[in-house]
Structure formats: structure tokens, C-alpha cells
A and B are shown apart, each in its own frame.
Chain A
């Protein structure tokens, strides 16, 4: 039972991270119909930049947060230019090449800057809470709280602010949005910036739990992507729930079921979930069908 609760907590923690990545995917997909292969790299960039600010430059945590937000906003906008200029020129499948190119450049840019070795930076507060055998680390609580706060902020932004509404209008139709006076190009840039910020902050949060390294983005990105599909494209809350499901499933296969299934099959379970979800409920738990834009 203890191991059950323990993995549940672990699953929720990492699930919150997948959920944030999924929100990042969603932000970009909704305005551009592009699945950003570079999404995971935002996470790695957030974690490593956060490391530099916090451990090398000894900034206080509050400054680190703002620093990471600023850097990720720039990363988001620059990657938007790289990815979207060719896509808007030729359309079709160009997005695969450009997002892939962006992901290779970012990942290996990080390798050049940070090398391949893992970095660990200290938790926001060390220590843990114990219930019998169950241990909850403070950082895990921080992650869950921060993720929920980010989810709420994201929802408020989407529903209450001009650019939030502009993103939703752009998601519906470029032409109609443009006719209504919405600056479509700027809206797309903002959606990339926000996506990079949310995912970068997720990197900052998870870094104390796992080691941060330049190549961490690939697997996190893929699983965050599974979370989007499970939760449903176009729904931030769905993305978050999807993240939880993926996180818990992944952790359970590795811990609770480790006697039955070899632990290496955790990833397999996640991808099988993806395939099953696409086949039996392609709209995800809370999403709408992916439609081509008119």
C-alpha cells in the first residue's frame, strides 16, 4: 500500500510536469496546427538556464524565475521565426522539417554550452514530510502547487485577456481573426513565447528531482506529447489531466508493477497508451477533433 501511495505521489509530480509541457504543445498547436518537435528542448533550456542563474550567478530564486521567463520568451519568439517563416511560405509538411531543425539546433546548442554531463540544482526547500513509510519531498509539493498556479494563470490569460482571446480566435480561423483586426502574426509569436515560458518553467521545477542535461528534452517532450493526445488537443485542463495519467501510468509500471512487468516497459506502456488513445478516442478525454483550418 505504501509503495502504491508513494508512486501515486511520484506519478502526480512528474505528471504535473508532463501536463505543463502538454499545455505548451497546445498553445502552439492551437494557433498554428504545428506539432512542435522542439517542445522538449524548451524544458531542457529552462532547466539549464535556471541552473546557470541560480548556481553560477547565485541569483535568488525569485530573480531566477523572472530570468528564466525572460530568456524563454526570447527563445520562444526566435524559434517561432525559424519555424514559422518557411511554414507560412510553403505550408504542407514544412513544419516537420523546421521544428525538427529547431530542435536539433537547440539541443546541440545546449550540448555545446553545457556539455553532456548532468547538472543538479538544489530543491527550493530541502526536507520532506513523512506519513509512516510514505515520504513526500518538499519539492514535489512545490511542483504540484506551481503547476496548478500556472494552469490557472493560463486559463485566466486565455479567457480574460485580449491576447488570450486572440489566440483562441486565431485557432479558429486566420482569416476571420485577421478580419476582426487581430494581429495574427503577433498572436502566433506570443503563443510561442508563452509555450516556451510554461515549458521552461516546468524544466526549472523538475530539475531538482531529476538531473538536468542537454538531452533531457527528447523523452520529456515525447511524454508531454502523449499527455496532449490523451487529454485532448485544444484543452488546457485536458492536457493537465492527460499529464497526470501519463505520469501515474509511467511511475506505476516502473514501481508498483515492477514484479509483473520488467521496469523498462514503462515507456512502452506510455506509448501503447498513446496508440490506444488515438485509435479508440482520438479526440482525447477533453479535446475536440483536430480539424484542418479553414
Chain B
């Protein structure tokens, strides 16, 4: 009952609570003594830092243990600039942010070579390096002793006092949360970060440059960490290497994960929780750390998903509107909705520079060879796909179909052979393939499962628009307009595809058939001229297969060429214009469906030599008629 109330008034409740919290934060210092003013100031700084870490871990999947180090980079940069070189604290502030962002950018370069667990370790190493550099560059940093009496910034003639620092910090907290919200929830940049976290291969197939976006995310995150460091240097007016140490870095980690990574408020809960634990056990100085560790382990036993995770699980369980029983599992037939003109305009297909005259080859592969160690998966395959056709690629399991697709889309490096797409060699990097006009849909569903249906669609629009990330962070009007325009197209597209009622649903909760449809739609958002589908009919019921067939035909009529890998022979035979057959890494036949059907080698490959007695033609013909 209460939860239903929350659900229906979510926006009002959110706004009211933001207002109340802001009010409390604003008037609190009137009732606080120096100790508590300082305490809450420091708490705000930790919240900013945890928020920055959340951008890296929670939204981009970059597990970082170097954030305390980046925090230190910000703090030491301003301390040295202001104390040693006499810079104005306000100008030094921006330098602290820039220095940390720069170090972050360098660290994120390593994601070219390493990812996931390794990245965590690399950041651990960088943190250790930052600590050692600070300890050993005694002339600049004061070594173990640190730097003290750091001058605070001044407003007018007055240096900021503790209370003014408190307000500055909480303004910073507000700004950090607001900008993170703008970035991750309402911008194409944030959606690309989240797509990379959710499913990197799928993001790359949509043309998202993994290194570029990870660098962007990590630099922004590092800059925010540096900002927190700067604030701390000014608040505390004393910094030492302990600030940067691994212990603090790990504690931040705990705060973010415990609170709930990937949510705006989770890390705040985590920071407040840890700070309260520390505050409660501070009277037992001797046992403080022991108690702290025990609380940590106990928490993991009691609420392993973290505070926010458990709350959310409870909330979803109680209010779940998307009870699987309620969903109408039958797929609406897109043939009822789609018309080529609408598709063309929504997807901006007319702007496509890679148009090839219908009937001429759009994709030509020659002599493609791919070996895995001693196994030759492709032994010199030729393939030509003509523009404006649906081209089938079939073959028994292990015949090299998926390997060929991987080579065509540069997901794998081929050993030999040339691949020309729209009169140009295919790009070397997989993420550029989408931009060149070729996009693939994977064999196993590769949705961004933790994002909504609409966000999945919107992710494909990452290349549209030209507003820079900083404008998005600042929530500038033209960034908002660009976002609104993309939302509008996405809504329209979902409507056209008959998915509008599921727009806000989490994508992995869709029934299987609609997940496949959504994947095809998402692939279309990058305005491809060639769509590669890897066994799209797998797991679909007959009616859904029919609908898929109609969809493909509509797309072909809209001017999109389709390369279809499929096991469902009847389906292939009914929709394809031409069919290529692979067996054991070699092309054994090519031609119209009828020609292929009668090819003795194909029959032998699929059914073996010993069953020649059976009337294959008749069997196939029957199957085709059933679906026609």
C-alpha cells in the first residue's frame, strides 16, 4: 500500500525529499559546533569522492582502487601550488582537478591492454606508485610529515572559515550528484558508459569506441576525485601520505559497493553507514579497526547485496508490475506497423553514405582464412553479398559461419584474405565497423540487460548529435534539446515496433521473442546498410519466426541489405534471395534457395551420405510450404 503510494508519486516524493535534505544541510551549521561542522564537511568530501568512484565502477565497470590516489593528486597539487608557488587558491583548485583528470586519463589508457580484474590490479599498482612518489619527493611534498598550514581560498578579503568551507563542500556535493545524474541518466555519453559495462561486445558492435568512452569516463571520474582532494586540502589545511594510502582507497570501495554501486544515492548511504560505524566505535580505540572489519564481514553475511541493492530488491518484489504472467508473450507482427518510408526517415537511412546500387555487391570477402592454433576454421572463403537482398549463410555446426561473421566485423583478426565493404577495406577495429555501415546481431542475446528497453534503443544513437560531454554534465539547454530529440525518435521507433508499452521495462525481463526483436531494432538505430543476423530464429515459436521473416522483408524493402545466418532451413529457404553454404570452413555451394536445395553436396553435408534414399527435395519443399 505504502509502496504503491511511493511508486505512483515517485517524482513528487523525490523532489520533496531533495528539498528537505537540502534544507537540513543548509541550516544544519547554525546548530553545530566546530567539531561537527568539520565532521560533516569531511563527510561531504567523502561523498563526492565515493560518487566519483561510482561513476567508474557503477556506471562504466572500471573497478578502480586508485581513487584515493587521485584524491591525493588533487590535494597535493593545490597544496604545492598554493603553499610553495603562491598561486591563488581558486586557480589552484582548477589545476588540482585537471591534474587528477590527467593522471586518470593516463591510467585509463591501460584499458587497451587489460580489462576487468586486471584493471583493478593496475589501479592498485598506480595507487602504490602515487603513495611512494608522494613519500619520496620530500622537497615538494614534505615526505611522511606532509604539508601543513595550507591557505584557504578567500571571498573578498575574508579567508573562508569552517562554516563557509562546509557550504562550499555541500555545494560541491550537490553539483557532483546533479552532474552525475545529467551525465549517466540523460546523455548519450552516460548510456555508452553503461552499455560498455553491461555488455562490451554488443556496445562495440553498435560502434561505441571502448577506449574512448572509458578514457572519458575515467578522466571525468578522476577529475571529480581530484576535486574532493582539493576540498579536503582546504578544509583540513594539512595533508599527509596517509590520506592517499591503500586503506582509504579500499574503504571507499567498501562504501560504494556496500551502499549500492550504479545508483546515485547508494554510495551516499554507504559513506554515511561507514562513518556512523566509525563514530559509534570510536570510544573503543583499541578495538576500533577490529570492530570495523567485523561489521564489514557481518554486513556481507546479512545484506550481501548492499544497502541499496537489498532495498531495491525488496521494492521490486513488492511492486513488480512486470509479473511474468501478466505479459502477453505473443509478438505483434511488425508487418502490421512498419512501412519502409517510416523506417527510412526514423533511422536517417537517406543520410547513409554507403549506399550501393541494388544488385551490386555491397560486401565482398575473398580468400578469408582463420586458424585457431592447428585448427583451420576458415580455409579461404569467398562471399559476395548483393545490396538490397537477403543473403543466407548456412552450414552445419562447426562449419565456420560465426567465425566468418567475426572476421567480417573485425571482431577477430583474420589470417589471410581481403574483405571489402562498400568499396572500402573493412576497418581494423571492430567499433569502426558499425560506422562504416555494417552492424551485427549476436547469436546469444546481447541486450544491455540492466538498462531499460528504451535505453537500449537510445544507446544506438550515441553517434548522432554533436553536443560535448561537458555541456551534458552542466545540463545546458542545447544538450537537453539534443537529448529530448533522441528520446522522441526512440519513442517513435518503439511505437512503430509495437514495444511502446514496455519502454521503461528492464530489457532482460522481456520475453525471449521480444528480446530478439529489440536487438534487431537496436542494431537498426546505427543506420546500417548491412545488417548481419546470427541465428535470429533460435528459440522462437513458429508465429514469431513468421513475424521475423516479415520484418526482414520490410527491412530489405527499406533498402537495408541483410546477411542471415540460420539453422532453421525452412525459414532460410523462404526469406533468402541467395544462399551460401559452408562446410568445414569451405564454401561448398552458392545460389538461389532452390539451387542450393538441390545441390547434392549440400544435402550430403546436412544429412550425410547414407540417407540418400530419402526424398530430400520433397521433405524440404514441404517444410518451406509450411512457412510460406
Chains A and B form a bound pair:
yes
Interface pair B121/A90, CB less than 8 Å apart: no
Tally of contacts, chain A with chain B, CB under 8 A: 117
Interface pair B128/A278, CB less than 8 Å apart: no
Interface pair B114/A275, CB less than 8 Å apart: no
Query: What 0/1 readout, one digit per residue, does chain A (268-293) give for beta carbons within 8 Å of chain B?
Result: 10011011001110100000001010
Interface pair B296/A100, CB less than 8 Å apart: yes
Interface pair A108/B290, CB less than 8 Å apart: yes
Contact A94 to B304, CB < 8 A, known contacts A104-B292, A268-B129, A271-B129: yes
Interface pair A278/B297, CB less than 8 Å apart: no
Interface pair A96/B253, CB less than 8 Å apart: yes
Minimum Cβ distance to chain B for residue A86 (Å): 4
Give the residues from 198 to 256 in chain B that come closer than 8 angstroms, CB to CB, to chain A.
246, 250, 253-254
A37 CB contacts on chain B under 8 angstroms: 250
Give the residues from 97 to 116 in chain B that come closer than 8 angstroms, CB to CB, to chain A.
110, 113-114, 116
A108 CB contacts on chain B under 8 angstroms: 287, 289-290, 293
A218 CB contacts on chain B under 8 angstroms: 246
Stretch of A57-65, A161-169, A173-181, A259-267 that contacts chain B: A259-267
Stretch of B130-138, B172-180, B505-513 that contacts chain A: B130-138
Interface pair A101/B129, CB less than 8 Å apart: no
B286 CB contacts on chain A under 8 angstroms: 112
How far is it, in angstroms, between the C-alpha of A123 and the C-alpha of B608 when the chains are bound?
A: 74
Say whether B118 faces chain A, with CB atoms less than 8 Å apart: yes
Contact A278 to B125, CB < 8 A, known contacts A97-B258, A265-B132, A268-B133: yes
Say whether B349 faces chain A, with CB atoms less than 8 Å apart: no
Give the residues from 280 to 327 in chain B that come closer than 8 angstroms, CB to CB, to chain A.
286-287, 289-290, 292-294, 296-297, 299-301, 304-305
How far is it, in angstroms, between the C-alpha of A103 and the C-alpha of B293 when the chains are bound?
A: 8
Interface pair A86/B136, CB less than 8 Å apart: no
Interface pair A268/B136, CB less than 8 Å apart: yes
Interface pair A86/B289, CB less than 8 Å apart: no
How far is it, in angstroms, between the C-alpha of A254 and the C-alpha of B258 when the chains are bound?
A: 40
Interface of B is mostly: helix
B114 CB contacts on chain A under 8 angstroms: 278-279, 282
Minimum Cβ distance to chain A for residue B47 (Å): 19
Interface pair B254/A100, CB less than 8 Å apart: yes
Minimum Cβ distance to chain B for residue A156 (Å): 29
> Which listed residue, B113, B246, B250, B305, touches A278 by the CB 8 Å rule?
B113
Interface pair B132/A264, CB less than 8 Å apart: yes
Interface size bucket, A side?
A: 35 or more
Interface pair B257/A274, CB less than 8 Å apart: no
> Which listed residue, B113, B128, B250, B294, touches A100 by the CB 8 Å rule?
B250
Minimal Cβ-Cβ distance residue in B for A33: B117
Contact A97 to B117, CB < 8 A, known contacts A262-B136, A268-B133, A271-B128: no
Interface pair B129/A272, CB less than 8 Å apart: yes
Interface of A is mostly: helix
The total of chain B residues at the interface (CB under 8 A) is: 39
Say whether A107 faces chain B, with CB atoms less than 8 Å apart: yes
Say whether B63 faces chain A, with CB atoms less than 8 Å apart: yes
A105 CB contacts on chain B under 8 angstroms: 290, 293-294, 297
Say whether A257 faces chain B, with CB atoms less than 8 Å apart: no
B128 CB contacts on chain A under 8 angstroms: 222, 267, 271, 274
Contact A101 to B118, CB < 8 A, known contacts A93-B63, A267-B132: no
Minimal Cβ-Cβ distance residue in A for B290: A108
Interface pair A85/B257, CB less than 8 Å apart: no
Minimal Cβ-Cβ distance residue in B for A265: B136
Say whether A229 faces chain B, with CB atoms less than 8 Å apart: yes
How far is it, in angstroms, between the C-alpha of A111 and the C-alpha of B63 when the chains are bound?
A: 30
Interface pair B133/A107, CB less than 8 Å apart: no
Minimal Cβ-Cβ distance residue in B for A106: B293
Contact A111 to B289, CB < 8 A, known contacts A271-B129, A275-B125, A275-B126: yes
Interface pair B125/A274, CB less than 8 Å apart: yes
Give the residues from 50 to 103 in chain A that come closer than 8 angstroms, CB to CB, to chain B.
82, 85-86, 89-90, 93-94, 96-98, 100-103
Contact A90 to B305, CB < 8 A, known contacts A96-B253, A278-B110: yes
Say whether A127 faces chain B, with CB atoms less than 8 Å apart: no
How far is it, in angstroms, between the C-alpha of A93 and the C-alpha of B304 when the chains are bound?
A: 11
Say whether B533 faces chain A, with CB atoms less than 8 Å apart: no
How far is it, in angstroms, between the C-alpha of A109 and the C-alpha of B110 when the chains are bound?
A: 37
Say whether A35 faces chain B, with CB atoms less than 8 Å apart: yes
Interface pair B118/A278, CB less than 8 Å apart: yes
How far is it, in angstroms, between the C-alpha of A37 and the C-alpha of B289 when the chains are bound?
A: 16
Contact A112 to B290, CB < 8 A, known contacts A35-B117, A94-B304, A278-B113: yes
Minimum Cβ distance to chain A for residue B471 (Å): 32
Interface pair B121/A278, CB less than 8 Å apart: yes
> Which listed residue, A35, A93, A222, A265, touches B257 by the CB 8 Å rule?
A93
Minimum Cβ distance to chain A for residue B415 (Å): 20
By a beta-carbon cutoff of 8 Å, the part of chain A in contact with chain B is: 33, 35, 37, 82, 85-86, 89-90, 93-94, 96-98, 100-105, 107-109, 111-112, 218, 222, 225-226, 229, 262, 264-265, 267-268, 271-272, 274-275, 278-280, 282, 290, 292
The 9 closest A-B pairs by CB, nearest first: A104-B293, A101-B296, A105-B293, A108-B290, A86-B300, A268-B132, A101-B297, A108-B289, A271-B128
| 10 sampled A-B residue pairs with Cβ under 8 A | A37-B250, A97-B254, A101-B296, A105-B293, A222-B246, A268-B129, A271-B128, A271-B132, A278-B122, A282-B113
